[in-house]
Amino acid sequence: MTPRQIVAELDKHIVGQAAAKKAVAVAIRNRWRRQQLPPELRSDVTPKNIILIGPTGVGKTEIARQLARLVGAPFLKVEATKFTEVGYVGRDVESMIRDLTEAAIALVKQEMRQQVQEKAEERVTERLLDLLVPTPKNSPWEPDQEKEEEERRKRTREKFRAKLEAGELEDRVVELNVEQKAVPVQIFSNMGMENMDVDLQSMFDRIMPRSSQPRQLPIKEARRVLMEQETEALIDRAAVTERAVDKVENHGIIFLDEIDKVCGPQATHGPDVSRQGVQRDLLPVVEGTTVNTKHGPVKTDHILFIAAGAFHTSKPADLMPELQGRFPIRVELTDLTRADFLRVLTEPKHALTKQYAELLRTEGVELEFTQDGIEAVAEIAFEVNRTAQNIGARRLHTILEKVVEEVSFEAGDLPDKRVVIDGRYVRERLGAILQREDLSKFIL
């Protein structure tokens, strides 16, 4: 996708923030551009990591979420607050590379499943026919009789095949040996010993015998079980690992949220293991290092890092200078205005007003928001953000929930199944709250 197309897709879900959308779109496109370069130049082109700076609720995380859906590349969203310095209780920063590799494995497996689906379906049909028309183990017939019996079996098999394809046997019960899934064996917790990332589960799977038990299943369920077995059998695990590691190294994206929570003044006493320590550990990972995973070593030189933070109590300059240098692109996201709130309520593909209308339609209630009703919600949300804590677009969730609370509660028993939410209705529902001084007690 071109940067313009990426921005157009993001516009369907996120209001405003053009600068942030443009920055991530260019960064994504640069991944493709790098792949077109000659190999000797390609290794020197490093990604330009981004820091998104802006208050809570303006779309930083949503940009990451929609980006993950668009790019089809290994993507991981992780909070910086869960990490501590190596050697202390908590997760070390290299674990995010391991998690990204696992995400890539799942992504490649899904791609390969689609490639082998047709072949797997053929094999499943043959196995179902074997269950419906079993081959006799030993035949007491003479050669001529045996040949005749074989012909009869073939004809029967073809009849069953036609019925299977026509969907006439979906509820017929067959007996199938289903393998029992092994209970995962966890030896090391995720506290500390993450560098001992040996694939112990696979080792135990090889050592311990796999048990299977016969189950009576209708054909529609047996087909699903067999499809899983046949797909797994057709996928080359070594190829999956190889492609996944390549995807991580060349196309991986990590969204590092809450980066502002790991910066601040240096601790006056004792080790600062969850702030300065995390920043020190992040340096080599963002710059480029090799992390050992259970799927082999993974280089982080060309993984794109997008960091985000509100920076309420700190500022980007509080990050270690070396880490600041590894995030050359900084984008400030703007506060939402009244007009933005109005757009958030109506423009996105799955806007909040549409969500509430569809939820209540499941109970036969037609919920209609008038223009002045939507304007009233936007006006109140903006006002509450201004006078109480500013939580951005998340304020709309709390306001709207309060507005439709009564309708949601009475939905099944309403005599009139059509509810119009206009400006007067909104102010009636929220009037008492707006007269209070301390709004935050009543609306989050």
DSSP code, position 91:
B
Q: Stretch 13-30: mean pLDDT, rounded?
A: 89
For residue 189, being part of any structural domain is answered with yes
For residue 99, being part of any structural domain is answered with yes
DSSP H helices in 12-142: 18-35, 39-42, 60-71, 95-132
**Residue for token pair 């601790």:** 267
Instruction: Place 205 in a pLDDT band, splitting at 50, 70 and 90.
Output: low
Q: Domain boundary residue among 194, 222, 242?
A: 242
DSSP code, position 83:
B
CA 301 – CA 299 distance, rounded (Å): 6
CA 50 – CA 286 distance, rounded (Å): 11
Q: Domain boundary residue among 222, 242, 262?
A: 242
User: Residue 198: how many CB atoms within 10 A of its CB?
Assistant: 11
pLDDT given for residue 26 in this prediction: 92
Percent of the chain with pLDDT over 70: 84
Instruction: Place 202 in a pLDDT band, splitting at 50, 70 and 90.
Output: low
CA 379 – CA 394 distance, rounded (Å): 14
Which residues make Cβ contacts (< 8 Å) with residue 225, sequence separation at least 6? 176, 178, 217
Q: Do 90 and 120 share a domain, yes or no?
A: no
CATH number at 417 reads 1.10.8.60
For residue 326, being part of any structural domain is answered with yes
For residue 224, being part of any structural domain is answered with yes
Q: Do 126 and 225 share a domain, yes or no?
A: yes
Mean pLDDT of all residues belonging to the chain: 80
CA 444 – CA 430 distance, rounded (Å): 14
Q: Stretch 41-46: mean pLDDT, rounded?
A: 86
CB 169 within 8 A of CB 219: yes
Instruction: Place 295 in a pLDDT band, splitting at 50, 70 and 90.
Output: confident
Instruction: Place 436 in a pLDDT band, splitting at 50, 70 and 90.
Output: low
Q: Do 325 and 343 share a domain, yes or no?
A: no
CA 369 – CA 377 distance, rounded (Å): 10
Q: Domain boundary residue among 332, 357, 374?
A: 332
Asked if the model's pLDDT at residue 410 lies above 60, the reply is: yes
Q: Do 193 and 124 share a domain, yes or no?
A: yes
Q: Do 99 and 124 share a domain, yes or no?
A: no
Q: Stretch 183-192: mean pLDDT, rounded?
A: 47
CATH number at 55 reads 3.40.50.300
Asked if the model's pLDDT at residue 103 lies above 50, the reply is: yes
Q: Do 120 and 222 share a domain, yes or no?
A: yes
For residue 435, being part of any structural domain is answered with no
Q: Do 229 and 119 share a domain, yes or no?
A: yes
CB 286 within 8 A of CB 297: no
Q: Do 138 and 227 share a domain, yes or no?
A: yes
Centroid of chain to Cα 38? 33
Asked if the model's pLDDT at residue 245 lies above 70, the reply is: yes
**What confidence tens digit (pLDDT) does each residue in 355-400 have?**
999 998 888 888 889 999 899 888 888 888 887 778 888 888 888 9
For residue 41, being part of any structural domain is answered with yes
Q: Stretch 80-92: mean pLDDT, rounded?
A: 71
Percent of the chain with pLDDT over 90: 7
Q: Do 98 and 141 share a domain, yes or no?
A: no
CA 352 – CA 333 distance, rounded (Å): 21
Report pTM. Answer: 0.77
Q: Do 260 and 278 share a domain, yes or no?
A: yes
- Which class for 426: exposed (0-12), middle (13-18), buried (19 or more C-beta within 10 A)? buried
- Which class for 49: exposed (0-12), middle (13-18), buried (19 or more C-beta within 10 A)? buried
Q: Do 354 and 320 share a domain, yes or no?
A: no
Asked if the model's pLDDT at residue 143 lies above 70, the reply is: no
Q: Do 126 and 217 share a domain, yes or no?
A: yes
Asked if the model's pLDDT at residue 188 lies above 50, the reply is: no
For residue 442, being part of any structural domain is answered with no
Asked if the model's pLDDT at residue 146 lies above 80, the reply is: no
Q: Residue 321 belongs to what domain range?
A: 3-103+243-332
For residue 9, being part of any structural domain is answered with yes
**Residue for token pair 């949601």:** 408
Domain count, the chain: 3
Query: What does the chain come to in residues?
Result: 444
